[in-house]
Chains A and B, each alone.
Chain A
Amino acid sequence: MTGKITDLETMGSADGPGIRLVLFLSGCKLRCLYCHNPETWNKHAFRREISSEEVLKLYNKYKVYYGEKGGVTFSGGEPLMQSKFVLQTIKLLHQHNIHTAIDTSGVGEDYDEVLKLVDLVILDVKAVDSDEYKSITGRDIKDFNTFLTKCQNLNKKLWLRQVIVPGINDDEQHVLKFKQFARGLSNVERVELLPYHNMGISKYNELGIKYRLESTPNMDKDKCKQLEQLLNN
């Protein structure tokens, strides 16, 4: 079986430890207000198919740069919409001692086996509050909570992330709430805030989808850094 991807990054430096091969898999159930990859929503609108062996081959091509710390990250879209492919690829990569990570919202399908094997879960926490979660993603928070519980039961290593959007969650109160949430979890290795940017607008135009945050400015990077400090001390 092959994976359906919209893109890949051979020098990923933001999605997991070290330098990594990052695959952007297509398909996502969420419709987040600030999503900057709307082209990944539709599972069948991929750019190319890739086999697990090809992933390994690609990894090997750049192995010398990835070193001991780097590895492969499955991102998207939502990688757990293609759990079978992800599972099969992780198994192959693990045979070669390659570190694996998933960059997920926690809302996917048939991911239990993936979760057992993957080395790191980078979890995008859209919101902690259920109403807010719904207003950002358009879905109930239930699936997210289920995923999180499974992670905790397996004691999976977690990196938590949240996108900070002006006017939605860029205040201290929100951040402190997120902090409290993170403190309540075990095996959290890192918590970070990502500043919202509107660089995805052109993709919406191309796809003929309405962009709902048209009047929202980009998140100030310095302010986001300050909020992150609040989160981490």
Chain B
Amino acid sequence: MEEKLFENVWRNFKGNNWKNEINVSDFIISNFNEYTGDDTFLSNPSNKTKAVWSKCEQLLEEENKRGGCLDVETGILSGITAFAPGYIDKENEVIVGLQTDAPLKRIVNMYGGTKVAMKALEAHGYKINDEVYKYFTTYRKTHNDGVFHAYTPAIRRARSNGLLTGLPDGYGRGRIIGDYRRIALYGIDRLIEFKKNDLRGEEIDGNNIEENIRLREEINEQIKALEAIKTMASSYGFDISRPAQNAREAVQWTYFGYLAGAKENNGAATSIGRNATFFDVYIERDIAEGTLTESEAQELIDQYVIKLRLIRHLRTPDYDELFAGDPTWVTETIAGMLDADKSLTTKTSFRLLHTLINLNPSAEPNLTVLWAKGLPENFKKYCAKISIKTDSIQYEGDDTMRPLYGNDYAIACCVSAMKQGKQMQFFGARCNLAKSLLYAINGGYDEKTGKMVVDGLEKNTENVLTYERVRRQYSEMLKRIAKIYVDANNIIHFMHDKYAYEASQMALHDTVVERLMAFGVAGFSSAVDSLSAIKYAKVKPIRNDQGIAIDFEIEGDFPKFGNDDDRVDSLATELVQEFFDDIKVHKLYRNAKPTLSLLTITSNVMYGQKTGATPDGRKSGEAFAPGANPMHGRDCTGALNSLNSVAKIKFANCCQDGVSNTFSIVPNALGNNENEQIENLVSILDGYFIQGAQHINVNVLNRDLLVDAMNNPWKYPNLTIRVSGYAVNFNKLDRAHQEEVIARTFHEKR
């Protein structure tokens, strides 16, 4: 009976390995058809799609009018089966499923911490149901409680002075990508069978008692979650105990898996993986069998994307300050290469990007193209065309990442690669490297609060800073903060596993999973330029009564990061390598492997606000550049120099969690007409990634347009721009963030 079922749902699929083990990658490799043609086959949105999307547009407008939050479910707590089924326009929805019983109604998740959840509710004018609150707080301890029971005094000081910020100690850590495709390919029941198999061991390994016991408990949590996903799907009328038997079911089953994670968790980045080519196998089969038309295939993808555009989490104002514009990072990873010769580009890679035309530009899902020299030329041109039109795509270097992550990895959040279903990440926010430099100069005292934060450091008393001395003190400081930072992340993830375990997402991973712990830095280019100023110009600290340098006088010029000048670019590459090496020496929770990113999201603004004047001439409180970007306006010798500087930062064994670069160029600097602009953008992307670069956000627009949009938001309801590893609707940014984006370098024609 069961055999017959599998024979039917897997009809005409080739290959065998994937049938005997959980191996989606092998299934794709055995069955996908690379598409090298152009975009002329694409369809317009169907009537059903138009009907659903127009309802959504009304709701989104309403959400905007209500200050960014349409509604909150205050009577029920988060959970996979907690909510009744919800619809937007039932008869026109081809793909169904909402986080709660109504579109854009947000979930209260208290497992991360009750305080943060209450603050978020209060900010939007809501109050949790008293009974629910009482019940939860009486019987549950949260992740946040756990973390603060273990934090050391050093971590607390670093945290409250803005040296370490954005740590996921009061909200979901996110960044975990379940391999949601597994549900479509195998059905829930088969996945449960495999998990039960992993529980067979008769004994606990005496050398590894805690890990063994914990894993057994987790597997059972995972099985429970898989059962819950099945129950949730059945409330929508679908039986996902068995595999999907056609394209519509494949998309629907996969989405149910994702949806369960978004009901259960509120992680900052809840990315969805790399699904287009997987879906394409089903779509091609249906088209060959005559049961699906191109228009219907596009409809599936359009409606899938509509659902992803409606994912919401309840956030506090503090959080919005860090991650502006209400992002959810439903990152969908597209294309990339199978090997050196063949790409994983399919028609569905096009269909997915085409949603930006069919449904207007949008910040979510975070469409991420894995760029490689070997991608089909037609696909490259199509990407460039859509980028120029919509400013909604980011690109990441597949030739840079594939050697380390294989050909079935996906991007979580902005730039974090992980093998789907085989690796997970402990997200670790970031350490402020510019402030760290000030601590090195000020002997561990904070330049803003005057407080002692990192003890045992020597204060610099020089009238003119000497490079050797400052650099040595900086190294000392980096070692100290690296340890504090590692301690913080070990505690956070210990407690997160304990009190807010992502059972539904981890259920869609192999039981034995490789863990990455992702560290990050902020204030990168400001720190680098400061070192350069100290080395090549004359920098005099201006100290207050306490002897803390609160400003700097700079005489003479110095090379700045972003101009392809090795004198300063070498300081940059040295700095990140040193900091990574400082982290690497420490033992990490659950034997995680450390990684490092140059990625600030939009926290560069807030980090800048909390940091005093720096030796590069940056004023106190001024925003940092985002991610690995050169400081605003300092990359003044041309766009290619700016790209070359960033491309020098090493990915493998250094910044292996990503090097984020946001690049804005005015249209006519790319070429005189659309065709030239497309071809030239393709050349720029090729040139950038050939050098081993990892990430670039591309915006093709004029600064005037943004200034106009800042002053007349009603004129630009759909204006989407890439900010830092994600895209936002420009109108959703607050004034400070809008101004920071406008102050960034726009590469122009000379």
Residues of chain B contacted by A13 (CB below 8 angstroms): 669-672, 676-677, 680, 749
Say which residue of B672, B683, B747, B749 sits within 8 Å of A65 (CB atoms). Answer: B683
Say which residue of A10, A14, A67, A69 sits within 8 Å of B640 (CB atoms). Answer: A10
Is there an interface contact between B564 and A61, defined as CB atoms closer than 8 Å? yes
Q: Is A170 an interface residue (CB 8 A)?
A: no
What is the bound-complex CA distance between A192 and B676, given in angstroms?
13
Is there an interface contact between B670 and A67, defined as CB atoms closer than 8 Å? no
Residues of chain B contacted by A64 (CB below 8 angstroms): 686-688, 690-691
Residues of chain A contacted by B690 (CB below 8 angstroms): 64
9 pairs of A and B residues whose beta carbons are closest in the complex: A65-B687, A64-B687, A10-B638, A13-B671, A67-B683, A64-B690, A9-B750, A62-B640, A13-B680
Interface flags for B623-664 (1: CB within 8 Å of A; 0: not) read: 000000000000001111101100000000000000000000
Say which residue of B643, B677, B679, B750 sits within 8 Å of A18 (CB atoms). Answer: B679
Which bucket holds chain A's interface residue count? 10 to 19
Is there an interface contact between B638 and A9, defined as CB atoms closer than 8 Å? yes
Return 12 A-B CB contacts under 8 Å, by A number. Answer: A7-B750, A9-B638, A10-B640, A11-B684, A11-B747, A13-B676, A14-B671, A19-B680, A19-B683, A64-B688, A64-B690, A67-B683
What is the bound-complex CA distance between A192 and B641, given in angstroms?
30
Interface flags for A165-200 (1: CB within 8 Å of B; 0: not) read: 000000000000000000000000000100000000
Q: Is A66 an interface residue (CB 8 A)?
A: yes
Residues of chain A contacted by B676 (CB below 8 angstroms): 13
What is the bound-complex CA distance between A19 and B679, given in angstroms?
9
Say which residue of B639, B677, B679, B688 sits within 8 Å of A69 (CB atoms). Answer: B679
Tell me the smallest distance from the CB of A210 to a CB of chain B, in Å. Answer: 25
**Number of A-B residue pairs having CB atoms within 8 Å of each other in the complex:** 59
Residues of chain B contacted by A19 (CB below 8 angstroms): 680, 683-684
What is the bound-complex CA distance between A66 and B679, given in angstroms?
11
What is the bound-complex CA distance between A8 and B750, given in angstroms?
8
Tell me the smallest distance from the CB of A35 to a CB of chain B, in Å. Answer: 17
Tell me the smallest distance from the CB of A233 to a CB of chain B, in Å. Answer: 15
For chain A, residues 47 to 75, give those with C-beta under 8 angstroms from any C-beta of chain B.
61-62, 64-67, 69-70
Residues of chain B contacted by A14 (CB below 8 angstroms): 668, 671-672, 749
Tell me the smallest distance from the CB of B642 to a CB of chain A, in Å. Answer: 10
The residue among B638, B669, B683 with the most chain A CB atoms within 10 A of its own CB is B683
Is there an interface contact between A69 and B683, defined as CB atoms closer than 8 Å? yes
Residues of chain B contacted by A70 (CB below 8 angstroms): 683
Is there an interface contact between B640 and A192, defined as CB atoms closer than 8 Å? no
- Chain B's interface: helix, strand, loop or mixed, by majority? helix
Residues of chain A contacted by B670 (CB below 8 angstroms): 13
Is there an interface contact between B639 and A11, defined as CB atoms closer than 8 Å? yes
Residues of chain A contacted by B680 (CB below 8 angstroms): 13, 18-19
Please list the residues of chain B having a beta carbon within 8 angstroms of any beta carbon in chain A: 564, 637-641, 643-644, 668-672, 676-677, 679-680, 683-684, 686-688, 690-691, 747, 749-750
Tell me the smallest distance from the CB of A230 to a CB of chain B, in Å. Answer: 16
Tell me the smallest distance from the CB of A223 to a CB of chain B, in Å. Answer: 16
Residues of chain B contacted by A18 (CB below 8 angstroms): 679-680, 683
Known: A62-B640, A69-B683. 20 other contacts (CB 8 A): A7-B750, A9-B638, A9-B749, A9-B750, A10-B638, A10-B641, A11-B639, A13-B670, A13-B677, A13-B749, A14-B749, A18-B683, A19-B684, A64-B691, A65-B643, A65-B687, A65-B688, A66-B683, A67-B687, A70-B683
Tell me the smallest distance from the CB of B387 to a CB of chain A, in Å. Answer: 15
Tell me the smallest distance from the CB of A224 to a CB of chain B, in Å. Answer: 11
Chain A, Cβ-Cβ closest to B672: A14
Residues of chain A contacted by B638 (CB below 8 angstroms): 9-11
Tell me the smallest distance from the CB of A11 to a CB of chain B, in Å. Answer: 5
Chain A, Cβ-Cβ closest to B684: A65
Residues of chain A contacted by B691 (CB below 8 angstroms): 64
Is there an interface contact between B686 and A67, defined as CB atoms closer than 8 Å? yes
What is the bound-complex CA distance between A99 and B641, given in angstroms?
21
For chain A, residues 1 to 37, give those with C-beta under 8 angstroms from any C-beta of chain B.
7, 9-11, 13-14, 18-19
Tell me the smallest distance from the CB of B748 to a CB of chain A, in Å. Answer: 10
Say which residue of B564, B640, B672, B677 sits within 8 Å of A11 (CB atoms). Answer: B640
Residues of chain A contacted by B671 (CB below 8 angstroms): 13-14
Residues of chain A contacted by B749 (CB below 8 angstroms): 9, 13-14
What is the bound-complex CA distance between A69 and B750, given in angstroms?
21
What is the bound-complex CA distance between A19 and B670, given in angstroms?
9
For chain A, residues 85 to 106, give those with C-beta under 8 angstroms from any C-beta of chain B.
none
Tell me the smallest distance from the CB of B745 to a CB of chain A, in Å. Answer: 13
Tell me the smallest distance from the CB of B60 to a CB of chain A, in Å. Answer: 33
What is the bound-complex CA distance between A10 and B679, given in angstroms?
17
What is the bound-complex CA distance between A68 and B638, given in angstroms?
21
What is the bound-complex CA distance between A10 and B683, given in angstroms?
13
Chain B, Cβ-Cβ closest to A70: B683
Tell me the smallest distance from the CB of B712 to a CB of chain A, in Å. Answer: 22
Residues of chain B contacted by A9 (CB below 8 angstroms): 638, 749-750
The residue among B638, B668, B680, B684 with the most chain A CB atoms within 10 A of its own CB is B680
Residues of chain A contacted by B684 (CB below 8 angstroms): 11, 19, 65
Chain B, Cβ-Cβ closest to A63: B687
What is the bound-complex CA distance between A125 and B639, given in angstroms?
31
Tell me the smallest distance from the CB of A21 to a CB of chain B, in Å. Answer: 10
Residues of chain A contacted by B644 (CB below 8 angstroms): 61-62
Tell me the smallest distance from the CB of B298 to a CB of chain A, in Å. Answer: 32
For chain A, residues 125 to 148, give those with C-beta under 8 angstroms from any C-beta of chain B.
none
Is there an interface contact between A192 and B669, defined as CB atoms closer than 8 Å? no
What is the bound-complex CA distance between A192 and B644, given in angstroms?
32
Residues of chain B contacted by A67 (CB below 8 angstroms): 683, 686-687
Tell me the smallest distance from the CB of B395 to a CB of chain A, in Å. Answer: 14
What is the bound-complex CA distance between A192 and B675, given in angstroms?
14
What is the bound-complex CA distance between A14 and B671, given in angstroms?
6
What is the bound-complex CA distance between A7 and B637, given in angstroms?
11
Residues of chain B contacted by A65 (CB below 8 angstroms): 640, 643, 683-684, 686-688
What is the bound-complex CA distance between A185 and B358, given in angstroms?
45
What is the bound-complex CA distance between A10 and B643, given in angstroms?
12
Chain B, Cβ-Cβ closest to A192: B672
What is the bound-complex CA distance between A13 and B680, given in angstroms?
7
